[in-house]
């Protein structure tokens, strides 16, 4: 379709590529329509927003796919709110017994007594048009929410985006993870089916194991002994009111902080610690993120159309004397299930009391340690590396071998626990002896994370070396050239500036700062060298952050005498010609 | 072995005669052998003794090496005295017996014996001592059974080994509770009645025949029951769902994010 | 591709460009129009999806079979996916293909205020505190501390009636001497001879409907008939079994799942939740898994009518361990 007159907003034909240097925008200033100015005026005179709007619309957001993982979580949350509201119009959180009608749509449960909660879930699934779809959307969105949070948390961790000034956002994030876990557990326990009811029984058992207060806490939370007539209604309140409210507040704070502090960005050309390069909020970023919301919603709907999730009718109504083989919680609880299964049966009996280490350690202590460690990590890392500066550039994971290796080790541990949580399913599907799986995972619990740590650190250092080498020597073009003296060399071309900038060579970890001498020139003992806390700080630093390879600040870590590459020993003229890839000279 | 001066036709005849003698000898010996050994054949209808005898022959041929010549059992196999026809019918019709190899538990496989042969072996074992008989068709066919009640019974007695809908489950010591996907009504009844392998016994005074019918109706009904939510991931639960959420959900969305953030194509 | 950063000018309308990106469609209006048509097609597909959703919804006035539900879920879901996905693809394509792809830059402002400002803020806090008088007036400070410290207590106290105190409820169940062993499904008493060798069943002291849910949750008991001579009772418990029938609590001592998994040949009870394994002939001692206590045993006998009865209550609490348990 050819156009003879320029479309609205475009320059006249012939100047399609011309920019407008006066305003730097390819489009140029436009006269604003009167009605827009009037509307803006009405808003501005009441709220004073015009200046803020202008600044916000011009706000720059960096472009990278890994920055959108948090958005998956955010938009999943919106989908959860929408679908959840629909469900609350039909769900009845009652533990009173009702009978599924003998003419009910789901034949295998006709005439059976069940709680009202379960019966209303059946009605949503089998009687309300679109009810099953919305229920499935809700559960798939919950899984996507938790998965995206984990992926996003990993991205933040591995790129060091939790450092100053973003520690508070990290803490909010840790809060969001724990609340999300609780919310998901509460959510899938609401229908009161046999699978989730078993999970609630386990939860009561875990609470009971807490010393001194366990039985009281269990009785107060559940309203008495298990199952407790008030528990499902309380779970309902927690799931639709309390936790979503707190989540909404935390997510808002999370986003506001990110908005105000501006997003981090990867190292590249033009990008410094003091600027942000990317696309403006309006219209580009708004459109990208808005489109992504529809994408998240579409993927959730697609999964709900095609793949069944949480088919509570197959599990049947909860009955404390019944249980199904291969009972599994959702994956974000699955790692806790794994720790419970792997723990040996340790219990101590002191003075007429029991301390159940077999439940306490895997279900209370380990998650407590994990979430506490996550919460304090930014402060711990800053203390060990003595790095209190503001960081707005993302670290490439390879440039921080210690942190990356630590993260991979923790993820490996969580992965082992997650698989261990499904060991009976694995044993059944793959014909492995059940006890063998338990023992294998017990061994892997201790062996794999250190191995993963060491391997990851090595890989990071190797990648660092390769980056520095490429930056210094260029990349191999594959063209072989014979020099005048008969020597064959491979032509190497220098990397483009942008590629070198993206390596972020100036952001590598390097060794920790030099320590004070133990005794200074006046014979005075150094306080920090002899302070036990400082000693610990130094030890952790050495363990995690000091690579045992000399840091490659200029790319000459290792000798390269006879590997046939063009290097500084050649005459400058030849070298220039060769590195420009033009061919050889003699 | 013809001499060079014999005419050619008679030389050929002598050679042929040699072959003929060998062929006749083979046929004769083989036929005589065939008549000499007892050949198990189809029992004549209405002749139980004949059935037991045929069954005994089959038993001696295929089962006695582990279960003993008098079905008394041995180091590798339990005694069959008193197990009843139902147990034999179950084990043989599901192909579990004869065992292919000594392992933790017998695996179902294509049955080696025909239905008639199975009945004969069962008759032989039943004749050894009284035991549960093969139930009649009206006993195991779940017409007018209560599927919902059966489900409740299943979840109390069966699902902790066999999973909520009979998809199977892992047990200790290398055993497993199998999936019910290939089980017939009769086989399910017989399994409950005789408790094969490490499965407990659910006799007719514990789970009445009506209750057994209800359970069969539930199991078979659940196999036929469509999954309203879509692809059922093997009805295996949250592990598969989590895997799909990560791989399909986060995977696709990360791909979309990569599309959004990808470097724009430059002109020329 | 020029890459110089243009000077920052406060009065400019848009952020300055650091990298100008000219895509094929920026240089060629025909390509841009073609891109526009492709985007329009995506939006059109979305509209078709929405219409499809409406059609699929009204096509079934009332769901009545599982097949209906499956059909409905599929078509509603697919059309919704198309409806949303079309918008998603259209908007994203619009951004990538038609909106400017230039990289623009914005300076970060120093978050920290200059020292004078910080000093002034600190001083305001100090001056305001002095104005309130709290620093000088220690009586005020202390009484405020008392009031504020106490004021949260009613909130905590209100939580007291969330549930009863556990007291001794966890220690006992409804089982006592002469409780009948009733079939959990039918409520009929289990008679001697009902169970074959290698059978097991779930029994209760009362019918389900005659118990509260909380009592029901901890009373199920497994009655198992072992082969003759297999049972090895602990000293003092020889008469807790009756003719190779033994009874143990069904509630796992780990975290409380019901154990329904009996392996007849190895005489083991296996809890499906976390694989705790109990050796039935040896008083359900734990042989594998995270459970630390053996299952409590219920002493049983048979009454004059041949029905099973309990001869005493459990000698210990059933279910998971807790702190007050010895």
Q: What is the DSSP letter of B123?
A: H
Which CATH number is correct for C170-310, 2.30.30.60, 1.25.40.10, 2.102.10.10, 3.40.1360.10? 2.102.10.10
Write phi, then psi, for A340 (nearest 5 degrees): -60, -40
Q: Which of B128, B148, B165 finishes a domain?
A: B128
Residues from chain B that touch A303, judged by Cβ atoms under 8 A, are 244-245, 248-249
CB distance C87–A126 less than 8 Å?
A: no
Could you identify the residue written with the tokens 């080696």? B112
Task: With a cut of 60, say whether residue A567 has pLDDT above it.
Answer: no
- DSSP lists the bridge partners of residue C224 as C200, C246
Q: Is C269 helix (H, G, I), strand (E, B) or coil?
A: strand
Contact between A285 and B249 under an 8 Å Cβ cutoff? The reply is: no
SS3 string, A170-224, reads HHHHHHHHHHHHHHHHHHHHCCCEHHHHHHHHHHHHHHHCCCCCHHHHHHHHHCC
d(CA C10, CA B159): 72
- pLDDT at site A26: 61
Q: What is the mean pLDDT of the segment spanning A234-255?
A: 97
Chain B closest-CA separation from residue A310 CA (Å): 7
Could you identify the residue written with the tokens 């702190």? C323
- pLDDT at site C10: 44
Same domain, B112 and B166: no
CB distance A434–C275 less than 8 Å?
A: yes
Note whether C6 contacts A: Cβ–Cβ < 8 A: yes
Contact between C321 and C293 under an 8 Å Cβ cutoff? The reply is: yes
Contact between A128 and A90 under an 8 Å Cβ cutoff? The reply is: yes
Q: What is the mean pLDDT of the segment spanning A132-138?
A: 98
Contact between C26 and A15 under an 8 Å Cβ cutoff? The reply is: no
Contact between A202 and A360 under an 8 Å Cβ cutoff? The reply is: no
- Positive/negative CA dihedral, B209, B211, B217, B222: negative
Q: Is A563 helix (H, G, I), strand (E, B) or coil?
A: coil
- pLDDT at site B104: 80
Residues from chain B that touch C228, judged by Cβ atoms under 8 A, are none
Residues from chain C that touch A229, judged by Cβ atoms under 8 A, are 213
Indicate whether this complex's ipTM tops 0.95.
no
CB distance B259–C194 less than 8 Å?
A: no
**For residue C77, what is the nearest residue in chain A, using CA coordinates?**
A305
Chain A closest-CA separation from residue C15 CA (Å): 6
Question: For chains A and B, what is the number of CB pairs under 8 angstroms?
Answer: 197
Q: What is the mean pLDDT of the segment spanning A537-553?
A: 63
d(CA A503, CA A469): 11
d(CA A141, CA A186): 15
Same domain, B79 and B103: yes
Task: With a cut of 60, say whether residue C269 has pLDDT above it.
Answer: yes
Q: What is the mean pLDDT of chain A?
A: 87
Residues from chain B that touch C202, judged by Cβ atoms under 8 A, are 156-157
**For residue A212, what is the nearest residue in chain C, using CA coordinates?**
C323
Strand order in the sheet with C285-288: C261-263, C268-270, C277-279, C285-288
**For residue C102, what is the nearest residue in chain B, using CA coordinates?**
B264
- pLDDT at site C79: 97
- pLDDT at site A117: 97
Residues 6+ apart with CB under 8 A from A461: A401, A547, A549
For chain A, which chains pass the contact test of at least 3 CB pairs under 8 Å? Answer: B, C
- pLDDT at site A506: 83
d(CA A328, CA B252): 25
Selecting from A16, A25, A262 the residue whose C-beta is nearest the C-beta of C27 gives A16
Chain B closest-CA separation from residue A155 CA (Å): 13
Note whether B93 contacts A: Cβ–Cβ < 8 A: no
Residues 6+ apart with CB under 8 A from B198: B105, B171, B175, C263, C264, C265, C266
- Render A354-402 in DSSP notation, one character per residue: EE-HHHHIIIIIHHHHHHHHHHHHHHHHHHHHT--S---BPPPGGG-HH
Residue B124 lies in a domain: yes
Q: What is the mean pLDDT of the segment spanning C6-16?
A: 62
Residue A487 CA to chain centroid, in angstroms? Answer: 52
pLDDT, tens digit, for every residue of A308-340? 999 999 999 999 999 999 999 999 999 999 999
pLDDT, tens digit, for every residue of A429-462? 998 999 999 999 999 999 999 999 999 999 998 9
The closest of B259, C90, B253 to A297, measured between CA atoms, is: B253
CB distance B230–A195 less than 8 Å?
A: no
Domain ranges of chain A: 68-84+130-160+278-308, 474-553+563-579
Residues 6+ apart with CB under 8 A from A181: A146, A332, A333
Pair of tokens at residue B256: 């979309």
d(CA C92, CA C82): 15
Cis before A165? omega within 30: yes
Task: With a cut of 90, say whether residue A228 has pLDDT above it.
Answer: no
- pLDDT at site A560: 38
Probe site for chain C from B86, B267, B268 (most C CB atoms < 10 A): B267
Q: Whole domain around residue B208: which residue ranges?
A: 137-224
d(CA C190, CA C199): 12
Task: With a cut of 50, say whether residue A585 has pLDDT above it.
Answer: no
- pLDDT at site A473: 86
User: Using 50, 70 and 90 to split pLDDT, how confident is the model at A508?
Assistant: confident
Residues from chain A that touch C291, judged by Cβ atoms under 8 A, are 345, 358
pLDDT, tens digit, for every residue of A23-56? 345 666 778 899 999 999 999 999 998 889 999 9
Strand ranges (E), A263-318: 275-280
User: Using 50, 70 and 90 to split pLDDT, how confident is the model at A545?
Assistant: low
Q: For position B217, which CATH number holds?
A: 1.10.760.10
State how many domains chain B has: 2
CB distance B227–A308 less than 8 Å?
A: yes
- pTM of the prediction? 0.88
Task: With a cut of 70, say whether residue B102 has pLDDT above it.
Answer: yes
- pLDDT at site B16: 82
Domain ranges of chain C: 17-104, 170-310
């Amino acid at each position: 379709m050819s156009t003879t007159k320029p479309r609205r907003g475009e320059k006249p034909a012939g100047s399609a590529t011309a920019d407008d240097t006066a305003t730097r925008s390819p489009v140029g200033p436009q006269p604003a329509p009167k009605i827009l100015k009037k509307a803006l005026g009405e808003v501005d005179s009441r709220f004073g927003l015009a200046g803020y709007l202008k600044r916000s619309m011009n706000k720059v957001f960096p472009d990278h796919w890994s920055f959108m993982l948090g958005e998956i979580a955010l938009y999943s949350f919106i989908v959860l709110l929408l679908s959840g509201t629909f469900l609350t119009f039909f769900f009845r959180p009652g533990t009173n017994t009702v009978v599924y009608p003998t003419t009910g749509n789901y034949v295998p449960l006709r005439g059976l007594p069940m709680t009202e909660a379960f019966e209303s879930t059946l009605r949503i699934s089998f009687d309300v048009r679109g009810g099953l779809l919305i229920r499935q959307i809700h559960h798939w969105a919950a899984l996507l929410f938790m998965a995206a949070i984990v992926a996003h948390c990993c991205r933040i961790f591995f790129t060091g985006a939790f450092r100053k000034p973003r520690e508070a956002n990290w803490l909010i994030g840790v809060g969001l993870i724990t609340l999300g876990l609780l919310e998901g557990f509460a959510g899938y326990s609401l229908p009161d089916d046999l699978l989730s009811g078993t999970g609630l029984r386990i939860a009561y058992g875990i609470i009971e194991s807490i010393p001194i207060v366990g039985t009281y806490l269990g009785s107060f939370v559940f309203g008495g002994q298990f199952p407790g007539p008030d528990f499902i209604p309380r779970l309902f309140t927690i799931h639709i009111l309390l936790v979503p409210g707190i989540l909404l507040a935390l997510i808002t704070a999370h986003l506001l902080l990110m908005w105000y502090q501006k997003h981090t960005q990867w190292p590249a050309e033009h990008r410094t610690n003091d600027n942000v390069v990317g696309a403006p909020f309006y219209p580009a970023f708004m459109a990208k993120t808005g489109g992504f919301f529809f994408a998240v919603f579409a993927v959730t709907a697609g999964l709900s159309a095609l793949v069944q999730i949480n088919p509570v009718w197959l599990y049947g109504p909860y009955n404390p004397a019944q249980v199904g083989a291969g009972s599994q919680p959702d994956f974000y609880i699955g790692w806790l299930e794994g720790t419970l299964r792997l723990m040996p049966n340790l219990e101590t009996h002191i003075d007429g009391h029991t301390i159940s280490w077999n439940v306490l350690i895997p279900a209370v202590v380990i998650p407590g340690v994990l979430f506490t460690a996550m919460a304090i990590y930014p402060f711990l890392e800053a203390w060990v590396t003595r790095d209190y500066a503001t960081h707005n550039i993302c670290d490439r994971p390879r440039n921080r071998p210690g942190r990356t290796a630590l993260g991979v080790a923790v993820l490996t541990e969580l992965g082992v626990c997650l698989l261990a949580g499904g060991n009976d399913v694995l044993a059944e599907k793959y014909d492995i002896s059940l006890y063998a799986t338990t023992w294998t995972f017990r061994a892997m619990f201790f062996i794999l994370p250190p191995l993963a740590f060491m391997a990851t650190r090595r890989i990071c250092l190797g990648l660092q070396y390769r980056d520095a080498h490429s930056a210094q020597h260029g990349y191999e073009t594959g063209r072989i050239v014979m020099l005048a003296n008969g020597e064959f060399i491979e032509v190497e071309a220098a990397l483009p500036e942008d590629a070198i900038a993206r390596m972020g060579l100036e952001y590598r970890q390097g060794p920790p700062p030099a320590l004070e001498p133990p005794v200074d020139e006046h014979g005075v003992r150094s306080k920090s060298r002899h302070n036990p806390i400082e000693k610990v700080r130094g030890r952790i630093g050495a363990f995690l952050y000091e690579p045992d390879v000399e840091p490659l600040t200029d790319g000459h870590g290792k000798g390269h005498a006879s590997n046939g590459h063009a290097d500084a020993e050649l005459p400058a003229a030849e070298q220039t010609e060769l590195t420009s890839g033009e061919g050889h000279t003699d | 072995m013809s001499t060079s001066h014999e005419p050619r036709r008679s030389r050929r005849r002598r050679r042929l005669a040699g072959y003929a003698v060998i062929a006749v000898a083979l046929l004769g010996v083989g036929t005589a052998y065939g008549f000499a050994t007892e050949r198990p054949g189809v029992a004549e209808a209405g002749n139980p003794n004949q059935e037991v005898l045929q069954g005994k022959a089959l038993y001696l041929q295929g089962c006695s090496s582990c279960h003993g010549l008098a079905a008394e059992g041995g180091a590798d196999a339990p005694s069959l005295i008193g197990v009843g026809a139902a147990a034999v019918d179950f084990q043989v019709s599901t192909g579990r017996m004869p065992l292919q190899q000594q392992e933790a538990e017998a695996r179902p496989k294509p049955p080696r014996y025909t239905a008639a042969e199975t009945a004969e072996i069962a008759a032989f074992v039943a004749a050894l001592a009284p035991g549960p008989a093969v139930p009649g068709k009206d006993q195991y066919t779940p017409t007018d059974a209560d599927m919902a009640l059966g489900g409740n019974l299943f979840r109390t007695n069966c699902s902790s080994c066999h999973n909520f809908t009979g998809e199977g489950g892992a047990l200790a010591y290398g055993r497993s509770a199998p999936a019910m996907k290939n089980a017939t009504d009769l086989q399910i009844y017989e399994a409950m009645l005789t408790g094969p392998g490490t499965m407990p016994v659910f006799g007719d005074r514990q789970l009445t025949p009506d209750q057994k019918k209800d359970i069969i109706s539930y199991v078979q009904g659940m196999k036929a029951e469509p999954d309203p939510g879509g692809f059922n991931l093997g009805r295996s639960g949250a592990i598969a769902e989590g895997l799909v959420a990560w791989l399909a959900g986060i995977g696709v969305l990360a791909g979309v994010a990569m599309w959004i953030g990808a470097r724009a194509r430059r002109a020329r | 591709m020029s890459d110089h950063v243009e000077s920052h000018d406060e009065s400019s309308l848009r952020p300055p460009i650091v990298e100008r990106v000219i895509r094929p469609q920026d240089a060629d209006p025909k390509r841009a129009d073609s891109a526009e048509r492709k985007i329009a097609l995506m939006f059109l597909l979305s509209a078709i999806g929405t219409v499809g959703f409406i059609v699929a919804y009204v096509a079934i006035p009332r769901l009545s079979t599982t097949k209906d539900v499956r059909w409905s879920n599929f078509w509603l879901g697919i059309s919704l996916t198309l409806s949303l996905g079309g918008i998603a693809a259209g908007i994203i394509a619009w951004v990538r293909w038609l909106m400017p792809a230039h990289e623009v830059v914005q300076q970060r402002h120093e978050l920290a205020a200059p020292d004078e400002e910080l000093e002034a803020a600190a001083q305001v806090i100090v001056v305001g505190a002095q104005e309130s008088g709290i620093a000088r007036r220690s009586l005020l400070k202390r009484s405020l501390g008392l009031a504020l410290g106490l004021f949260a207590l009613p909130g905590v106290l209100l939580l007291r009636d969330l549930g009863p105190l556990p007291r001794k409820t966890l220690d006992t169940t409804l089982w006592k001497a002469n409780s009948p062993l009733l079939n959990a499904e039918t409520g009929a008493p289990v008679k001697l001879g009902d169970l074959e060798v290698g059978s097991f069943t779930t029994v209760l002291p009362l019918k389900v409907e005659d118990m509260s849910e909380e009592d029901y949750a901890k009373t199920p008991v497994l009655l198992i008939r072992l082969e003759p001579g297999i049972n090895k009772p602990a000293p003092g418990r020889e008469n807790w079994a009756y003719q190779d029938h033994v009874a143990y609590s069904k509630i796992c001592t780990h975290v409380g799942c019901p154990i329904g998994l009996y392996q007849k040949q190895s005489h083991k009870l296996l809890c499906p939740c976390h694989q705790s394994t109990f050796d039935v002939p040896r008083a359900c001692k734990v042989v594998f898994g995270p459970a630390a206590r053996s299952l409590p045993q219920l002493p049983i006998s048979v009454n004059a009518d041949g029905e099973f009865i309990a001869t005493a209550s459990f000698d210990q609490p059933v279910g998971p361990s807790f702190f007050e348990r010895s």
